Structure 1
Amino acid sequence: MMEKKYQILFLVLLSMLAFNCNRNEEYVNYTDANAPAPEQVSNVLVIPKSGGAHLVYKIPKDPNLRYIKAVYETTSGSRWEVKASYYTDTLKVEGFGDTNEYDVKLYSVGKNEKESEPLIVKVKPLQPVIQSAYETLQIAGTFGGINIKLQNPERANLAVVIMQDTLNNGNYTELTTYYTAADNINFSVRGMDTTEKKIAVLLRDRWNNKTVQKKSNIKPWFEKLIDKGSWRALELPGDTYEYVESYPLRKIFDGGFGYCCLFATRNYQLPHTFTIDLGRPVAISRMRTWLHPEAAYGGSHPKDFEIWGANTVNPDGDYVDLPNRIYRDNWQKLGTFKSFKPSGEGPVTAEDRDYALNKGEEFDFEAGIPTVRYIRFKTLNTWGISSGQVQVVIQELTLWGQEGK
């Protein structure tokens, strides 16, 4: 009985193989190698766009037509091709770095890959993103380096190239390049002394278009990394320092990263507060935080928060309005901050995770804030919840500035 089943299965497989072989033998290639090239497109309408244009045309009635092709050169001199099937009557050309007029060649291409004579159309793009972003570019000195700001509302992929004339001979060499598609671009290059620097910045897009250099003489402000050896976690009445599992507040400044070394609170009613004794007075210039190892811009990630400072702390925590976390006058607000997500609204991207978990979110304090020994981190809401009870998780907190005596 078993042998009979195998025989039947063998015959079925043999029949399927024979069917496939016969079907391949019967395949007919309907492409006519001798067919002429299709006619050109006609009635082309050029609709200018930022850095490019939409080309709307009438498709030739030719059964041999396979697709329409546009060939053009951008500002950088690069040659580009764009194709559209015969099911659509529109092509998009892009990558132009200015608003000059360009020739675009349109070809009708047949199933045998024969091309029609080119139909040349004139394209005059609207201002490209790289130029509109460049108009908003700001270069300024900041603590330990230079700060770059610009607007990119269309969230184009941009490379911000920072250069310096280190030999004072007019030759600017690259320091670093910052790649981003954020809408509000704001970053700093650190590690500089306080001598004046000759800095230049240009923008480059994914078509290799470049802006001119914007030059500026910048004098960075003095700062140093604040040593954490004397820091101490305070457990004050009214603070939300109680933690889950093995993640106490002291781990926020232990220099470690990952699940071994984070501070994770219990669920508390917002706003949250915790207090750290820095061990000595500090004039804070900037702060960097690293958040939950896996939940960047998620439920426990602080979104809006304040940093407060004081030089004296009372045993009762100095709370005069506990539900709203209002303090006595010995506490001064040092800054109000909003967590920055490089990609803006929408899903969390690789760029977002790299910023929050590898580089660390960075926050600048205004110059002239008072020197303080104690700081209080007040979380107003998180990315996951704007009110109610919530957990806050922070891996590490680091400060820069000037130490007092």
Structure 2
Amino acid sequence: MKKNIKNWPLLLLSLLAISMISCKRNDGYNDPISKDKTKPAMVTNVKVDNYNGGAYITYDLPNSENVLYVVAKYQVRDGVSRETKSSYFSDTLNVVGFAKAREYTVSLYTVSLAEVMSDPVTVKVNPLTPVYSVVSSAVSITPDFGGVNVKALNPLKKEIGVVVTAFDPSTGRMEVQDQHYTDKDTIDYSLRGYPATARDFGVYITDKYGNISDTLKKSITPLFEEMLPKNIFSEYRLPLDTKLYTGQDWPVNHLWDGITDNSVSGWHTNSGNVPPFTCTFNVGATYKLSRFVIWERQNEFAYGFSNPRKFAIWGSNKAQPQDIQLPVTAPEGTVIGDWINLGNFVYPDPPSGLPPGAINAADRAFVAAGVGFNFSLSDPAIHFLRIAVATTWSGGDTAHIMELSFYGQPQ
């Protein structure tokens, strides 16, 4: 052991000298790694497995150490070419991005270490209907409050883009209004901010390969929508509503005072309760609701503490709706006594993808801006609302909300 320690400096110097020699600069690193210009042999035993918008091509490589990779060259639509490469250690190529379900020709080449290409092997592929076409075949655009609603199905859960256009009087053309990218199986979202006057709207589907479907065009008159005036709201306390926090003043009417920050200006229940945590109020008139925005408690409370994670909104159009124990969960449309479930809602996870306990500034800004949710067009008109929190981010025995804004059409 002592001998090894004594010789250690000498060993270090030796290693350093070796590394200096081995790390000599290579000015020709972009040159081919072989000077053998022999044309490589072609692939053989080619087989095709077609799928929606593409095909897997398998093959046998030539028995040669001079092959670096295999490349497929093909056109996905008129005038647009693509190529896909696969290393020597694979026997499969994925050719993708085809615009239609028809026959295409793909040329396969082996490429040598000196970047010499073999003669081509041509193969026919017949991709199934591309995903963007599958989605566009069932897309719909219909009137919604303050705009339009777009629905479609994406059963293969592949990445597609939904693009909404509308006539712009200032340019005299159809202009892109929104681009919505998703890989979800169900597409159902609304684009708002339009007056209740007829306008031409359109929707088309695209994919990441630049394929674009035909545009579905319709003249649509958005439904009239306004924010419910909060100055006519009032608490309608029911005996079974959850008791309020007693440490400070957190009454139900703080839900519509216009203050969304972390001051003591929201609704907060007392401890020692079990879900659902409920409160009830009168919106002052009869409305068919379209949507709402919720502001949860911010900053260090964001995605934590007693902020709601899962909650429901119940409504009633009775003159004096009676109290009844609401369930923790119930399907939308469930009627219990004088109350109907208008929807079950889940507060979204942090947009950053970080866990709730490790959110970043963008996540906190998302909470501070308020989060919007839609009501179903089939929901009945209401005069009273009841919030029922089923689960909070902490899973504790209290709930708090800073502010709510509701939108809809007066009846």
After TM superposition, the score normalised by the length of structure 2 is 0.77
Q: Is the alpha carbon distance of 1:297 and 1:144 closer, same or farther for their aligned partners in structure 2, counting shifts above 3 Å?
A: farther
Q: Which moved more, 1:159-168 or 1:116-125?
A: 159-168
In the TM superposition, what are the counterparts of 1:184-333 in structure 2 within 5 Å?
184-232=186-234, 236-240=238-242, 242-243=244-245, 248=250, 249-257=252-260, 259=262, 265=269, 266=271, 268-290=273-295, 301-303=308-310, 305-310=312-317, 318-321=322-325, 329=337, 331-333=338-340
1:96-107 alignment to 2 at 5 Å? 96-107=98-109
**Aligned equivalent of 2:388:** 378
Go from structure 1 to structure 2 and tell me whether the alpha carbon gap of 1:202 and 1:64 turns closer, same or farther (over 3 Å shift).
Answer: same
Provide the alpha-carbon RMSD of the alignment: 4.2
Counterpart of 2:135 in 1: which secondary structure? helix
Distance across 1 between alignment mates of 2:245 and 2:156 = 42
Q: Distance in 2 between matches of 1:114 and 1:396?
A: 68
Query: In structure 2, do the counterparts of structure 1 residues 377 and 132 end up closer, same or farther at CA, with 3 Å as the change threshold?
Result: same
1:117 aligns with 2:128: no
CA distance in 2, matches of 1:156, 1:244: 51
Displacement, 1:9? 7.3
Deviations 1:58-115 (Å, cap 9, x if unpaired)? 1111101111112222237433222212222111111112102222221111222222
1:182 Cα deviation from its structure 2 partner: 2.1
Unaligned runs of 5+ in 1: 1-6
Partners of 1:340 and 1:361 within 8 A in 2: no
Q: Output the CA distance in 2 between the equivalents of 1:355 and 1:218.
A: 34
The separation in 2 between residues aligned to 1:218 and 1:183, in whole angstroms, is 26
Contact 2:43-2:59 at 8 Å conserved across structures? yes
Q: Which moved more, 1:269-278 or 1:390-399?
A: 390-399
Query: Is 208-217 or 280-289 further displaced after alignment?
Result: 280-289
CA distance in 2, matches of 1:97, 1:12: 63
Candidates 84, 92, 95, aligned match of 1:93: 95
Note closer, same or farther for the CA distance 1:295–1:186 as it changes in structure 2 (3 Å cut): farther
Alignment partners' CA distance in 1, 2:149 and 2:326 = 38
The 8 Å contact of residues 105 and 119 in structure 1, kept in 2 or not, is answered as yes
CA distance in 2, matches of 1:390, 1:76: 63
Match in the other structure for 1:161: 163
Match of 1:4 in 2: none
Answer whether contact 1:50 1:125 (CA < 8 A) is retained. Answer: yes
User: How far apart, CA to CA, are the structure 1 residues paired with 2:63 and 2:249?
Assistant: 71
Equivalent residue number for residue 3 of structure 1:
none
Q: Which residue of 1 aligns with 2:142?
A: 140
Please say which of residues 257-266 and 197-206 is displaced more in the overlay: 257-266
2:109 and 2:268 map into 1 onto residues whose CA distance is 62
Task: Say if 1:355 and 1:361, in contact at 8 Å, map to a contact too.
Answer: no
Confirm or deny: 8 A CA contact 2:306 2:400 kept in the other structure. Answer: no
User: Residue in 1 aligned with 2:3?
Assistant: none
Secondary structure of the 2:230 match is: coil
Aligned-partner SS, 1:172:
strand
* Offset from partner CA, 1:256-315 (integer Å, 9 cap, x none): 55655765655742333222333444442322335576866999544462422356558x
Q: Distance in 2 between matches of 1:154 and 1:384?
A: 35
Secondary structure at the counterpart of residue 14 of structure 1: helix
Is contact 1:297–1:348 with CA below 8 Å preserved after alignment?
Answer: no
* Distance across 2 between alignment mates of 1:85 and 1:60: 13
Contact between 2:315 and 2:382, CA under 8 Å: does it hold in 1?
A: no
| Equivalent of residue 74 in structure 1, options 69, 73, 76 | 76
2:13 aligns with 14
**C-alpha separation in 1, matches of 2:403 and 2:11:** 66
Following superposition, the deviation at residue 382 of structure 1 comes to 6.6
Identity of aligned residues (%): 27
CA distance in 1, matches of 2:349, 2:211: 23
State the Cα distance separating 1:137 from its structure 2 match.
0.5
Deviation at 1:165, TM superposition (A): 3.1
The one of 375, 400, 404 aligned to 2:407: 400
Contiguous gaps of at least 5 residues in structure 2? 1-5
